[in-house]
Chains A and B, each alone.
Chain A
Amino acid sequence: MSLIDSVSFPRSFRLPRVDSLVQWIVPLAIIVIWQIASITGFVPTRVLPAPSDVALAGWKLLLSGELLRNIWVSFWRASIGFLIGGSIGFAFGLANGLSQLSAKLTDTTLQMVRNVPHLALIPLVILWFGIDESAKLFLVALGVFFPIYLNTLHGIRTVDPQLIEMGRIYGMSDGELFRRVIFPGALPSIFVGIRFALGIMWLTLIVAETIAASSGLGYMAMQAREFMLIDVVVLSILIYALLGKLADSASRVLERLTLSWHPAFQKN
């Protein structure tokens, strides 16, 4: 009896930790299989270097400071571009969601621009800005703008009209109505936009840095290709994957903090 108690007691503490590790089983298994395939020569290292070689290349680049510098440059471009494009998209979403006049004036134009793939503008952007920072920021901002604009607009337009009527009956001013009813009601949709935008942010940045840049992760990968350093190419790709996961986790944490009222985010 006492033995069973002493065994089952710590287990209840261990369980949640095991639970959060489950998601990493598949990535780890892939790396292990990949390592074995490389060592046995099943996958030639010219095609795909062993994970240990990639880690070694990463370690060398880390020591030289090159890796951190490039990650920082890419991270900086991504966040500044996201902030610029995201806030403009949010502002237009708010304006067009709240004002019929503003929507009539700008929505058609924005919908037309939206249908141009923003990466098709790369040649034009290079002609305009050359290959300096503003070119990358412009592309990222443009890519991020539309998902945030569309989802903010959709969120505001679909706030329950009965709740808005309730707010008016209870004497809310326009500002209060926005703060207490419209914005919180639109927030779930705005988060959908943010998560879409984060994906587009990395995609745009990778393409932009691969084509026209003199620093950053994409540039590092292109340089490595010139010198046939396949391990560095693979390393860059893996870092992109990790950064993408990081951005997604950050938006999930924010979502959980601000949408704790939502039945989908409540435990039990």
Chain B
Amino acid sequence: MQTALRTSLPETDLAGRASFAPHARVVREEHSAPATGLPLSIRGLRKSFGDNEVLRGIDLHIPAGQFVAIVGKSGCGKSTLLRLIAGLDKIDAGSISFGDQVQPEDIRVMFQEPRLLPWARVLANVEVGLGRDRASKDAHARAEQALIEVGLADKRDQWPSVLSGGQKQRVALGRALVSRPRVLAFDEPLGALDALTRISMQRLLERVWRDQGFTAILVTHDVAEAVALADRVLVIEEGRIAHDVTVNVPRPRERGSVELAGLEGSILSHLLSADDRT
């Protein structure tokens, strides 16, 4: 099991190949899910807000089903990159292409705030995530299934206002998962949670990613979180990808292990040395 995982993990090898390469198939089997992830190619991506050029040419390939974390100082453009991938903002120059025909339901975003409708019960909030399938007959059943996946089946008839911060974020995750997305973008989804809730949410994210096999893109300012969850960590500085680090540690990963701590330290020193230069 462990060795099999190891062979599948050198993601830098995978990065150059198309998703139908034998290697990629191994990855999918390891995630024990149908082939749902979408590969992602970004070429020469630029974005400015007024005179402020936030992204200055991003080139990136993410293979199907990979878990990528994007770290960087605040204002480096990491959230902007995520919003462009999710289609929330318009691209100035360059292109983002997915390996397949994309439906709106295929790409979902989870924000730092849960953004639940306070006037809808938990189950109805999850149903919102079905997109155009909201009116279908199995909407209830699918939403309930998503609630079970995030461990909140007993809260289906509650108002969001009675839930804790972590529970609200789990409902938001259920809403993002209910349409079985092929790309899931996380914009610091755990930033507002306390330390213990964070860790249990990180485990939940990792579990649903392994179950469903979507391509995950996580923007975070927490380097420890990035190395604990991701196959690959991208460090963004001044609108460009400054480092592309592969996390070659088998799962399930032990938090606080020497390997993870070493990686975290080297990424942090990259970020801090950039700080010294300015």
- Quick check: is B105 within 8 A (CB to CB) of the other chain? yes
Chain A proximity mask over B91-120: 1 for CB below 8 Å, otherwise 0: 000000000000011001101010101111
Query: How many residues belonging to A are interface residues under a CB distance threshold of 8 Å?
Result: 20
Q: Return chain A residues, CB-CB under 8 Å to B131.
A: 170-171
B128 near A170 (CB under 8 angstroms)?
A: yes
Shortest Cβ distance from residue A263 to the other chain B in the assembled complex, whole angstroms: 5
Q: Return chain A residues, CB-CB under 8 Å to B115.
A: 162-163, 165-166
Q: Considering the complex, give the chain B residue whose CB is closest to the CB of A258.
A: B119
- Quick check: is B196 within 8 A (CB to CB) of the other chain? no
- Quick check: is B86 within 8 A (CB to CB) of the other chain? yes
A261 near B129 (CB under 8 angstroms)?
A: no
Q: Return chain B residues, CB-CB under 8 Å to A244.
A: none
Chain A proximity mask over B116-151: 1 for CB below 8 Å, otherwise 0: 011111000000110110000000000000000000
CA distance A165 to B89 in the complex (A): 11
Given A171-B132, A180-B128, A266-B159, residue A261 in contact with residue B118 (CB < 8 A): yes
Shortest Cβ distance from residue B109 to the other chain A in the assembled complex, whole angstroms: 6
- Quick check: is A1 within 8 A (CB to CB) of the other chain? no
Q: Return chain B residues, CB-CB under 8 Å to A181.
A: 117
CA distance A4 to B60 in the complex (A): 77
CA distance A243 to B209 in the complex (A): 61
Query: How many residues belonging to B are interface residues under a CB distance threshold of 8 Å?
Result: 23
Chain A contacts with B in 40-87, Cβ cutoff 8 A? none
A162 near B120 (CB under 8 angstroms)?
A: no
- Quick check: is A184 within 8 A (CB to CB) of the other chain? yes
Chain B proximity mask over A246-268: 1 for CB below 8 Å, otherwise 0: 00000000000001111100100
Chain B proximity mask over A139-172: 1 for CB below 8 Å, otherwise 0: 0000000000000000000000011011101111
Q: Return chain B residues, CB-CB under 8 Å to A169.
A: 86, 88, 108-109
CA distance A171 to B181 in the complex (A): 14
Shortest Cβ distance from residue A164 to the other chain B in the assembled complex, whole angstroms: 10
A170 near B117 (CB under 8 angstroms)?
A: no
Given A170-B129, A170-B131, residue A185 in contact with residue B159 (CB < 8 A): no
B159 near A162 (CB under 8 angstroms)?
A: no
Given A166-B115, A169-B109, A181-B117, residue A261 in contact with residue B161 (CB < 8 A): yes
Q: Considering the complex, give the chain B residue whose CB is closest to the CB of A167.
A: B128
- Quick check: is B162 within 8 A (CB to CB) of the other chain? yes
CA distance A166 to B108 in the complex (A): 10
With a 10 A CB-CB cut-off, give which of B108, B160, B161 has the most chain A CB atoms: B161
Shortest Cβ distance from residue A170 to the other chain B in the assembled complex, whole angstroms: 5
Q: Return chain B residues, CB-CB under 8 Å to A185.
A: 119
CA distance A259 to B120 in the complex (A): 11
CA distance A180 to B120 in the complex (A): 9
Shortest Cβ distance from residue A128 to the other chain B in the assembled complex, whole angstroms: 43
A171 near B117 (CB under 8 angstroms)?
A: no
Q: Considering the complex, give the chain A residue whose CB is closest to the CB of B108.
A: A169
B162 near A266 (CB under 8 angstroms)?
A: yes
A184 near B117 (CB under 8 angstroms)?
A: yes
CA distance A260 to B86 in the complex (A): 34
CA distance A172 to B127 in the complex (A): 12
B105 near A171 (CB under 8 angstroms)?
A: yes
Q: Return chain B residues, CB-CB under 8 Å to A165.
A: 88, 115
Q: Return chain A residues, CB-CB under 8 Å to B113.
A: 162
Given A162-B113, A169-B88, residue A262 in contact with residue B118 (CB < 8 A): yes
Q: Considering the complex, give the chain A residue whose CB is closest to the CB of B109.
A: A169
Q: Return chain A residues, CB-CB under 8 Å to B120.
A: 180, 184, 261
Q: Considering the complex, give the chain B residue whose CB is closest to the CB of A260.
A: B159
Q: Considering the complex, give the chain B residue whose CB is closest to the CB of A162.
A: B115
CA distance A262 to B159 in the complex (A): 9
Q: Return chain B residues, CB-CB under 8 Å to A261.
A: 118-121, 159-161
Shortest Cβ distance from residue B202 to the other chain A in the assembled complex, whole angstroms: 23
Q: Return chain A residues, CB-CB under 8 Å to B175.
A: 170
CA distance A170 to B113 in the complex (A): 16
CA distance A167 to B175 in the complex (A): 12
Q: Considering the complex, give the chain A residue whose CB is closest to the CB of B130.
A: A170
Chain B contacts with A in 145-180, Cβ cutoff 8 A? 159-162, 175
Shortest Cβ distance from residue B108 to the other chain A in the assembled complex, whole angstroms: 8
Shortest Cβ distance from residue B136 to the other chain A in the assembled complex, whole angstroms: 13
Q: Return chain A residues, CB-CB under 8 Å to B160.
A: 261
With a 10 A CB-CB cut-off, give which of A165, A170, A181, A263 has the most chain B CB atoms: A170
Return the 4 tightest CB-CB contacts between A and B, nearest first. Answer: A171-B131, A184-B119, A166-B115, A261-B119
7 pairs, A vs B, C-beta closer than 8 Å: A165-B88, A166-B111, A167-B128, A170-B131, A184-B119, A260-B159, A261-B121
Chain B interface (Cβ < 8 Å from any Cβ of A): 86, 88, 104-105, 108-109, 111, 113, 115, 117-121, 128-129, 131-132, 159-162, 175
Chain A interface (Cβ < 8 Å from any Cβ of B): 162-163, 165-167, 169-172, 180-181, 184-185, 187, 259-263, 266
